Amino acid sequence: MNGLQPLILFTKTPVSESGRTAYEIRNKAAFAAIRDDGSVVTWGDPKTGGDSSKVIDQLDADVAQIFATRKAFAALKTDGSVITWGDRRQGGNSENVKPLLKGGVVNIFSTGTAFAALKDDKTLVVWGDPERGGTFGEVSQENINNVESVVSTFTEIDNMSETFAALRSDGSVITWGNRSVRDDSDLELVERLNNVSQIIANHQAFAFLLGDGRVKVIGNKTSGGELGRVSYSDEVEDDTKVTFDRVFPNGDISLEPGQELYNDSKRLKKGIEKIVPSYKAFAALKKNGSVVTWGRYYQGGDSRAVRDQISGDVVDLFSCWTGFAALKRDGSVVSWGGWREDPDILPAEVTSELSSGVVSVYSTGQSMAALKSDGSVVTWGKEITGGDSSNVSSQLSSGVVEIFSNNSAFAALKDDGSVVAWGAPAKGGDSSSVETSLQSNVVHVFSSGTSFAALKDNGSIVSWGENADRFVSHDASQLESGIVSVSTPFFDDKTQANLGNKIVSLIDVRLNQVNSAAKNVWLFGYGNPDAFGDRRNNALTGNDGNNRLLGKNGDDVLNGRRGDDHLNGGKGVDLLTGGKGSDVFRPSRGLDRVLDFQVGIDRVHVDSIDDTQFRKIGDGLLVIDGSRRLLLEGVDLEMSEVSAVDLIDNI
């Protein structure tokens, strides 16, 4: 999609399950956006991070990326330091580890209530709820080394079982956090693990995919923590078990209370390629294209009703809290799962619409939406949270290019830059309050658990849903321009990245304040960021917006590209190219040359018109402003014309 192209720093992080990736949780009800000057704007529920007033001075520049727990945010700055705000117990307060967060942080992971920051020496710093991952508990800090990534269990609903699992570079694993997810036998298994290639978590269990295609699990035994076991029980708070009668659609099995009879562990012995979680179950895609499920029966753990349909030719798996969807080679989709009261997620009447042409599947907590190759959308699952799209069906019959979701609503981005929303009305399903703003020019849609924020190609944000118009520390007008990114788990949404000898950036760059040896800068994005060089010979390249480029010492090469740019070579012999737009050039020490000066459109900024002299040199015009000079190449004016030409800009 052409609209997304300038956001080149964003690489997708796969959705693990609605509301999170494997590595990070989405904020429940607030947004944090980064502006083109590297500052942060927050809004939404003030209790979950919408109010950043306590740290606002530390968020005024150089923010590279923002991470979330359910109720707090952590901003990673370009110098590797971290600033936190939001619910003090759930990650908003990092006072205990403040010295460790002053620099060297390269990535941040989260559970619902705690953060884990990965440092450049592959150690971790954790903070947040001390019982749920905010401290290492019984694990010794010395063992927290060689960490590659961190995955967490998470419960959006009961908020009880946050546990972290860190994958080390040698394929071993360390876990810490809520003990209820890890009994003693779990801890023994974890100690023996090696050759782990991927960690997958549902709300109460971990699955470890090994390099040889086997899988190991730990955690709540009725939630996927016992390999292959399909559980027909719910463990309730006093540890008694309640088992539910279940009559299967094909009528061949009826379970009485107390019975637990299904176990598919044999099929999980080898050949596992991918595992996805639902709320309390897992589904594994095997190399032979078949699917094996285990865990809580009603959340997709029991797939026997569709077993014949997922015994081969499955190419991808998707999930929501309540179930799974398998995409098959022929473009058809098979979906199963549900809630206890309503165990069939996929109504029969939808099945025929999913028989071909499906490209991808998206989900809210309890509903799914399939995007088809003809740009149409098919929805199923709990009606009120997006399963029912009949209100907008005419708008979803063609032209949809991508689907975004929060816990209870969907937002579809169409090829004309418009957005169509449906699902729980108060939580983003009703976008009528901002309807006119969503008719064009949207390039991306971000979400909190209960609202949406659409980024438009002029750098503005349109926000709707619960708390979407609450501003405590900032002002709504700050979302009218200059936004380059909104915090999201679903993209590696860094505003700056080092690519060899250059820094690519969506925000202002001050080379001497960036932790990198790179000496060149490329600006991207929809904002108007500035770039400042250093003592070296720098190449500074603007984006399509209005950029200020300052080379400082050294012989620099400045290129404004589109937009109305301001170029100043600084000391040294510099080469300046304004690009399209009405650009302003500043004379400086050393003979700088402007390669594309357009008389009547571009201008020269001088300190004093009275002191400025012009001299014709070759096919160019030399502007002398005291000790500063600038040669406008190709400007062939008679001296008598110079004063009459609108060259100078200093008023």
Indicate the pairing of strand 114-119 with strand 105-110. Answer: antiparallel
The alpha carbon dihedral of 529, 100, 118, 276 has a sign of: negative
Q: Taking the complex as a whole, how short is the minimal distance between the CB of residue 621 and Ca ion, in angstroms? A: 17
Neighbouring C-alpha atoms within 13 Å toward the C-beta of 466: 19
Min dist. Cβ of residue 484 to Ca ion (A): 14
The CB-of-34 to Ca ion minimum distance in angstroms stands at: 19
In the complex with Ca ion, which residue's Cβ is closer, 70 or 552?
A: 552
Contact range with Ca ion by CB under 5 A, out of 72-80, 127-135, 164-172, 564-572: 564-572
Which range in 40-48, 225-233, 327-335, 550-558 contacts Ca ion by CB under 5 A? 550-558
With contacts defined by CB under 5 A, name the span among 42-50, 339-347, 395-403, 566-574 that binds Ca ion. Answer: 566-574
CB crowding 323-333: b at 16 or more within 10 Å, else e: bbbbbbeebbb
- Residue span binding Ca ion (CB under 5 A) among the ranges 89-97, 176-184, 213-221, 551-559: 551-559
Sequence-separated (6 or more) residues with CB below 8 Å from residue 315: 289, 327, 328, 329
- Does residue 551 touch Ca ion according to CB under 5 A? yes
For residue 53, what is the DSSP state? G
Residue nearer to Ca ion on the CB measure, 162 or 574: 574
The residue range among 93-101, 220-228, 369-377, 558-566 that interacts with Ca ion, by the rule CB under 5 A, is 558-566
Q: How far is the CB of 574 from Ca ion (least distance, A)?
A: 4
Q: Which of 162, 556, 583, 625 binds Ca ion (CB under 5 A)?
A: 556
Residue found under tokens 């470890």:
208
Residue 224 contacts residue 217 (beta carbons within 8 Å)? yes
**Distance of alpha carbon 228 from the chain centroid:** 32
**Which one of 560, 578, 587, 620 is in contact with Ca ion (CB under 5 A)?**
560
- Applying CB under 5 A, among 49, 386, 429, 569 the residue interacting with Ca ion is 569
Indicate the SS3 state at residue 647.
Answer: coil
Smaller CB separation from Ca ion, 421 or 549 = 549
Rounded to a whole number of angstroms, the minimum distance from the CB of residue 384 to Ca ion is: 46
> Closer to Ca ion at the Cβ: 176 or 526?
526
CB atoms within 10 A of CB 272: 21
- Least separation in angstroms between residue 614's CB and Ca ion is 18
Residue 308 makes CB contacts below 8 A (sequence gap 6+) with none
Q: Between 53 and 501, name the residue whose CB sits nearer to Ca ion.
A: 501
Phi-psi region of 314 (alpha: psi -120 to 50; beta: other; left: phi over 0): beta
Among 301, 554, 578, 620, contact with Ca ion (rule: CB under 5 A)? 554
φ, ψ (nearest 5 deg) of residue 59: -115, 25
Tell me the DSSP string of 534-567.
-SS--EEE--SS--EEE--SS--EEE--SS--EE
Q: How many whole angstroms separate alpha carbon 228 and alpha carbon 446?
A: 36
For Ca ion, the closer of residues 87 and 556 by Cβ is: 556
| Minimum CB distance to Ca ion, residue 419 (Å) | 28
CB of 584 to Ca ion, least distance (A): 12
- Report the C-alpha gap between 632 and 578 in whole angstroms: 11
The sign of the CA dihedral 136, 63, 524, 575 is negative
Q: How many binding residues for Ca ion (CB under 5 A)?
A: 18
Q: How far is CA 299 from the centre of its chain?
A: 26
CB of 459 or CB of 569, closer to Ca ion: 569
Query: From the list 87, 226, 430, 565, which residue makes contact with Ca ion (rule: CB under 5 A)?
Result: 565
Stretch that binds Ca ion, among 13-21, 79-87, 133-141, 556-564 (CB under 5 A): 556-564
C-beta of 556: minimal distance to Ca ion in Å?
5
Q: Distance (Å, rounded) from C-alpha 539 to C-alpha 555?
A: 9
Least gap, CB of 494 to Ca ion (angstroms): 21
d(C-alpha 403, C-alpha 5), whole Å: 17
561 is a site residue for Ca ion (CB under 5 A) = yes
Work out whether strand 491-492 and strand 11-12 pair parallel, antiparallel, or are unpaired.
antiparallel
Contacts with Ca ion, 510-549, as mask; x by CB under 5 A: -----------------------x----x---x----x--
Provide the minimum distance between the beta carbon of 40 and Ca ion in the complex, in angstroms, as a whole number: 23
Which CB atom, from 527 or from 551, has the smaller least distance to Ca ion? 551
Q: Give whichever of 19 and 572 is closer to Ca ion, judged by the CB atom.
A: 572
Contact set for Ca ion, span 570-599 (CB under 5 A): 572, 574, 588, 590, 592
Spatial CA neighbour of 555 closest among 587, 578, 589 = 589
C-alpha distances (whole Å) from 383 to each of 155, 200, 369, 644 are: 22, 28, 12, 70
Our CB check for Ca ion shows the closer of 343 and 482 to be 482
CB of 551 to Ca ion, least distance (A): 4
Name the minimum Å distance from CB 513 to Ca ion: 14
Q: Which of residues 444-503 bind Ca ion (CB under 5 A)?
A: none
Measured from the CB atom, the residue of 268 and 575 that comes closer to Ca ion is: 575
Shortest reach from residue 183's CB to Ca ion, in Å? 59
Check binding of 107 to Ca ion (CB under 5 A): no
- DSSP string for 128-194: E-TTTTSS-TTS-GGG--SEEEEEE---TTT----EEEEEETTS-EEEEE-GGG--HHHHHHHHH--
- DSSP labels, 201-230: E-SSEEEEEETTS-EEEEE-TTTT-STTEE
Interface residues for Ca ion in 307-346 (CB under 5 A)? none
The residues of the shown chain that bind Ca ion, judged by CB under 5 A, are 533, 538, 542, 547, 551-552, 554, 556, 560-561, 563, 565, 569, 572, 574, 588, 590, 592
